[in-house]
Amino acid sequence: MGTIINVIAILIGGAVGLLFREKFPERVTQTALQVMGLFTMLVGISMALQGKELILVLVSLAVGAMLGEWINIEARLEQLGAWIDARLPVAEGSPAKGFIYASLVFCVGSMAIVGSITDGVKGDHSILVTKAMMDGIISIPFAAGMGVGVLGSALSILIYQGGLTLLAWQLQSLFTATMIRELTAVGGIIVMGIGVNILGLQKVRVGNFLPALLIIILICYFR
């Protein structure tokens, strides 16, 4: 459901952008994103407070962050976007340009991964709904500037996030109640970092925190 809402939001936002083109004030988009940044923080805090094993959460984040920094996941995600962009050169004004750029922005990020896992394991699509609202807002100026190709990125979201959610759903039988609770707490802290980035308060390399999701699962499984 979270992915479906995300797809609908991009289509609506893109349609609004195409309808109004360059008449949509940039300051409205910026203010709306600030609201979403604050709301993302709230979602992250509510998830983080569900955890009861705070030491395990801390250890998972610390170990996961160090592993992520060693692998340099954040930079590799950025390199992936640059690699795809370089391999798929398109002419300025081409619909393909809007499709590729919007797909990279909407798909290559921690929120899509954490949200899809949470949706698949718990059936909680609050993160993806928050992401959907942000993507819908961002798609307005994207579509206004790059055209109808931006709407095609909804298909990328459907395949990518939908695939991750279905995979997590297939594996949910392996998760205990404790594992899900603490996984939610770790994911909540990562989402808080995303909120900090949206608000521009500090550059948090949240992509490097992603291994913490695996670490907390392993700790809960073997403890």
Please compute the mean of the pLDDT values over residues 172-197 and round it to a whole number.
Answer: 86
Question: How much is the pLDDT for 64?
Answer: 92
pLDDT in tens, 112-158: 888 898 899 888 888 899 899 888 888 887 787 777 888 888 988 99
Query: What residue ranges do the domains of the chain occupy?
Result: 2-222
218, pLDDT greater than 70: yes
pLDDT in tens, 6-54: 999 999 988 988 887 666 667 776 787 788 788 888 888 988 898 898 8
Closest alpha carbon to 217 in 174, 157, 159: 174
Question: How far, CA to CA in Å, does 118 sit from each of 18, 59, 63, 111?
Answer: 33, 20, 21, 10
The Cα 142–Cα 21 span in angstroms is 9
Q: Please give the span between the terminal C-alpha atoms of the chain, in angstroms, as a whole number.
A: 33
Give buried/exposed letters for 170-180 (b at 16+ CB in 10 A, else e).
eeeeebeeebb
The Cα 53–Cα 183 span in angstroms is 10
Q: Is the pTM higher than 0.85?
A: no
Question: How much is the pLDDT for 180?
Answer: 85
Closest alpha carbon to 121 in 38, 47, 223: 47
Question: How much is the pLDDT for 89?
Answer: 56
Closest alpha carbon to 208 in 48, 42, 102, 62: 62
Residue corresponding to tokens 């004004």: 93
pLDDT in tens, 55-101: 999 999 999 999 999 988 878 877 766 666 666 555 555 566 677 77
DSSP-assigned letters across all residues of 140-180: HHHHHHH-GGGGGHHHHHHHHHHHHHHHHHHTGGG--HHHH
Rounded to the nearest integer, the mean pLDDT of the chain is 83
Question: How far, CA to CA in Å, does 1 sit from each of 108, 116, 137?
Answer: 20, 10, 19
Beta-carbon contacts of 49 under 8 Å, excluding residues fewer than 6 positions away, are 185, 188
